[in-house]
């Protein structure tokens, strides 16, 4: 059994073991999540997403360093980095590269880096990320940077669960169209055009600005709008003034590899947190995140239960009928549940 108190007091070995337990979905990991959950709610979750190769890991590395050189209440914030890479589930190839690049952070006790292997269902991936965040939050990390490859809806969903979403673009063919396809611009609280050392960067930034204006009609992200609506429905009091002001997604030119533009970004991340807190969106986002996590857990559990009681022969027979167009999936559903 892993000691929950050891995690809370910053024991890195206990934390590492707990995260592995979460990945393997052990009973002990469930006990730890339950015990530690009351001690969470402080960490600022910052999602960093974008196409492979856009420079997310390099950027996260620089952000972590910059945050460590700043201070919150006269102390440098403790930073955790979670790298979620479902595109390389077993080989760990991409993650190894990340580890090497992040090595210059390794000596700093205020920084904790962990990559997350993805096993099983996509819903599971989202929950594991949430569980990782719970453990790191309870261990006293102030800022949790979550790197996800912006390759599909599952990853977009993970990013959506962060308080602040940074979308990373880089100049190059088709990136902008890619961004629309993944609905990724919609979720950006901060938009980074990385590799600003390349001559096309300014054009990319200009194109993104136009696309952002078209897709949003200015102002809030789709997620924020959704949240404000659900707030209104639940009659939660919000700060009206800030609701009207909204948040203008800044577009920042950054050269992550040289560290230029990073200070502005650190400032943007802080401003965004202040905006969320002052407009009450922070609380709403927390509620939304927790509700989504509960929903995902229920769905996973129900499917598990269904599979346990499944009559495999009957299932295969129905499946064959569907493939032969003798029966529709919707009919089969009623027969299976």
Ligand X SMILES: Nc1nc2c(ncn2[C@@H]2O[C@H](COP(=O)(O)OP(=O)(O)O)[C@@H](O)[C@H]2O)c(=O)[nH]1
Q: Does 252 bind ligand X (CB under 6 A)?
A: no
Q: Does 81 bind ligand X (CB under 6 A)?
A: no
Out of ligand X, Mg ion, none, what residue 195 binds, judged by CB under 5 to 8 A for its kind, is ligand X
Q: Does 279 bind ligand X (CB under 6 A)?
A: no
- Candidates 118, 157, 255, 279; binder of ligand X (CB under 6 A) is 255
Q: Does 249 bind ligand X (CB under 6 A)?
A: no
CA dist 95 and 101 (Å) reads 10
Q: Phi/psi at 109 (nearest 5 deg)?
A: -70, -15
Give the 3-state DSSP-derived string for the chain, with helices as H, strands as E and coil as C.
CCCHHHHHCCCHHHHHHHHHHHHCCCHHHHHHHHHHHHHCCCCEEEEEEECCCCCHHHHHHHHHHHHHCCCECCECCCEEEEEECCCCCCCCHHHHHHHHHHHHHCCCCCEEEEEECCCCCHHHHHHHHHHHHHHHHHCCCCEEEEEEECCCHHHHHHHHCCCEEEEEECCCCCHHHHHHHCCCHHHCCEEEECCCCCCCHHHHHHHHHHHHHHHHCCCCCHHHHHHHHHHHHCCCCCCHHHHHHCCCCCEEECECCCCECHHHHHHHHHHHHHHHHHCCHHHHHHHHHHHHHHHHHHHHHHHHHHHHCCCHHHHHHHHHHHHCCCCCHHHHHHHHC
Residue (6 or 94) nearer to ligand X, CB: 94
Minimum CB–partner distance for residue 299 and ligand X (Å): 30
Out of Mg ion, ligand X, none, what residue 221 binds, judged by CB under 5 to 8 A for its kind, is none
Q: Does 54 bind ligand X (CB under 6 A)?
A: yes
Q: Which of residues 193-212 bind ligand X (CB under 6 A)?
A: 194-195, 197-198
Candidates 300, 290, 275, 271; CA nearest to 133 is 290
- Candidates 58, 128, 164, 249; binder of ligand X (CB under 6 A) is 58
Which region among 13-21, 26-34, 46-54, 131-139 touches ligand X (by CB under 6 A)?
46-54
Residue (54 or 138) nearer to Mg ion, CB: 54
# of chain residues touching ligand X (CB under 6 A): 15
Q: Does 62 bind ligand X (CB under 6 A)?
A: no
Minimum CB–partner distance for residue 173 and Mg ion (Å): 20
Residue (92 or 140) nearer to ligand X, CB: 92
Q: Does 57 bind ligand X (CB under 6 A)?
A: yes
CA dist 64 and 77 (Å) reads 9
- Candidates 22, 29, 55, 280; binder of ligand X (CB under 6 A) is 55
CA dist 78 and 310 (Å) reads 47
Q: Does 145 bind ligand X (CB under 6 A)?
A: no
Binding region for Mg ion (CB under 5 A): 56-57
Residue (4 or 184) nearer to Mg ion, CB: 184
Minimum CB–partner distance for residue 186 and ligand X (Å): 19
Minimum CB–partner distance for residue 62 and ligand X (Å): 9
Out of ligand X, Mg ion, none, what residue 257 binds, judged by CB under 5 to 8 A for its kind, is ligand X
Minimum CB–partner distance for residue 123 and ligand X (Å): 24
Out of Mg ion, ligand X, none, what residue 54 binds, judged by CB under 5 to 8 A for its kind, is ligand X
Q: Does 164 bind ligand X (CB under 6 A)?
A: no
Q: What residues contact residue 283 under an 8 Å CB cut-off, 6+ apart?
A: 236
Q: Does 163 bind ligand X (CB under 6 A)?
A: no
| Residue at shortest CB range from Mg ion | 57
CB 318 within 8 A of CB 327: yes
Binding footprint of ligand X on the chain (CB under 6 A): 50, 52-58, 194-195, 197-198, 255-257
């Amino acid at each position: 059994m892993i000691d929950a108190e050891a995690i809370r007091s910053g024991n890195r070995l206990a934390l590492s073991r707990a995260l592995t337990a979460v990945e393997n979905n052990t009973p002990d990991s469930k006990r730890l999540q339950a015990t530690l959950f009351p001690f969470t709610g402080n960490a600022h979750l910052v999602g960093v997403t974008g196409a492979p190769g856009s420079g997310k890991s390099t950027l996260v590395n620089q952000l972590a360093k910059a945050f460590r050189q700043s201070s919150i209440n006269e102390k440098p914030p403790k930073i955790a980095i979670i790298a979620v890479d479902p595109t390389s589930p077993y080989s760990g190839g991409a993650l190894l590269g990340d580890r090497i690049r992040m090595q210059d952070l390794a000596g700093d006790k205020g920084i904790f880096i962990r990559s997350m292997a993805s096993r099983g269902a996509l819903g599971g991936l989202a929950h594991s990320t949430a569980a990782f965040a719970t453990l790191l939050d309870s261990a006293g990390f102030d800022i949790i940077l979550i790197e996800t490859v912006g390759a599909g809806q599952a990853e977009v969903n993970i990013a959506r669960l962060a308080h602040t979403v940074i979308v990373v673009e880089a100049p190059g063919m088709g990136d902008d169209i890619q961004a629309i396809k993944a609905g990724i611009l919609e979720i950006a609280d901060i938009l980074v055009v990385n590799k600003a050392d390349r001559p096309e960067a300014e054009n990319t930034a200009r194109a993104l600005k136009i696309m952002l204006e078209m897709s949003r009609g200015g102002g809030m992200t789709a997620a924020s709008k959704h949240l404000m609506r659900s707030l209104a429905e639940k009659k939660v009091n919000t700060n009206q003034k800030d609701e009207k002001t909204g948040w203008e997604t800044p577009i920042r030119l950054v050269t992550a590899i040289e560290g230029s533009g990073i200070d502005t970004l650190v400032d943007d991340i802080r401003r965004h947190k202040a905006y969320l807190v002052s407009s009450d969106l922070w609380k709403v986002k927390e509620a939304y995140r927790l509700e989504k996590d509960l929903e995902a857990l229920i769905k996973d559990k129900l499917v598990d239960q269904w599979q346990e009681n499944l009559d495999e022969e009957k299932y295969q027979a129905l499946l064959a009928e569907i493939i032969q167009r003798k029966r529709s999936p919707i009919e089969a559903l009623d027969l299976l549940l």
